[in-house]
Structure 1
């Protein structure tokens, strides 16, 4: 079951779109330092360390990679990169960005648009900004320069997310079938992550790739017991007990893209309290999913969700907004929030994940990934959401 990666034509179109924006804003070149943005534009993912690297995209001309020696050979093999400027190592005799500044200075540029002032403090890096090194050039910093363009997904990206959703459902089924009293959180998460990843890789074939180094292509995780009341609780190797609330999370990465799938399960027959909070959460999520669609204000979706929970008297148990855009990064703007401006647009992909968090009892949250289409919406995750399906017999 080979799944096609993003094509070179798509990468070239993304670079052309950036050049069009440069022309519209009077920029003569863009300097991109975000590793995710560079990968999205070119298909080249460099491992971010203390060594600065950047992508230079002139308004007229081919894309240029500025890289340390450890990345030179890899960058030279990328079809969308036409030239590679390299320096040897950090810290080196002079700040690495001074080599980039020297190259840019020779081009006689007057206005450059960059996604960051410089490299930032990754892994202890310290160094001057581009503006300090190029005082004769107007450096316009726009952190959203590239990222705003991946908030609407192309047909190729949507297909990757569709396949990710199918495999997330399969991996979650493996998880649910393995849950029982006596198993341990981290131990089971790690073993299932490895098992699900192996099954996935065998189906994808050797052409599969992701933008990570050694990370599992399928992640299967969960938290159990009272700690599920902490929305971002980390897994521990706690032993599962009958009656536990369990909050799961599954992600499946295809060429850097993944859906979000989360479920709340009960290990055994639910108590009346558990059933009440579970029911409220599902009703709120249904309201959010039903509210989604092209042209719908983001804040309206959040309002519909909150309305359900407030009517049930659960306002004090809310800890976060309804959802966020996703796909290329785990969380992307825009956010489904009471104070978000803007509307949902076709091609956007959102999580819908209202949660209710009861100290001393547990947290109740489902998360599904929904695509906004011209006609309405399409779910990319399909795992059962009802209590009967998620209350486990033990």
Structure 2
């Protein structure tokens, strides 16, 4: 954090160009980095609860015991204020923080996801024993909290949350604005931490896909549907035909995406705001991305992949390399696995590349590349 933000971005851009040197070509267009605001950009907080019920301490996993980080300047004011209201709830309800060494206590984490005007709070608990006290004092939460749930995580393990979610108050989902679209976020749905940068990321990919002339697309590892819905919005704005399928292995993410598509008028039919000459349809399905892609009888004009840090891996890389699909947009949260995946795809060239400054003041950077088909001699 002592390094000026602009210097961080320049150094990260240089590292990315060096990492992709073997797969880029002289014709590769390096777009200007997508730069985040330096402060107040984290719209999600994952606070480990330590200390005592009378004096709870909020920190990050792996940080020093006793150091409270609830006022970290990476968070916007709404997140900070919601976290402080959760602290008041813990004190009043007398919910003891979980002690890792003694394996005693109840509350493990407070998880917050915020829009510019409202927030979702999830309390990760060891058991249901404190729920009655928590429900009694929910009014202490900031009035802008519109969704409250408890996640039950009885195991003593490194995972932040468990599989059981109990709705406590408010709506069952948060509506998260992402530029020209908004997505439904259920409690266990994954969303990007930096909403402002994610919004431009989705819009950038949509422009690339439509500029390539695609009329059918797959969004693999689609999460809550940001890329698919962004493409759909761009197609509708241009009066273009577009048929998009999003694939994600998590049921809750697909439920979120389906709700968003229906609300925007994209689910399976022409939407109410679609231009008369356009037909924009989006569908989402729960499946493993690689297995699903291999089963398809026909291929789309374009594919978007947005895998976890491990990348798309050898199987999907080889499949895409041999597929013949004209255009692929690869959004990567780990440039090293991106480089490894691209090395297995010689039938494609890196047409465009862009550094994504998703996490300022850290060594973690993301990247976006547009791949164009280079037909082999016998293709």
TM class by shorter chain equals: under 0.3
Larger proportion of strand: 2
Q: What TM-score, normalized to structure 2?
A: 0.25
The one of the two structures with greater contact order (alpha-carbon pairs below 8 A, sep at least 6) is: 2
TM-score (norm: length of structure 1) = 0.24
As a proportion of its length, which structure holds more helix? 1
For the pair shown, the structure with the greater C-alpha radius of gyration is 1
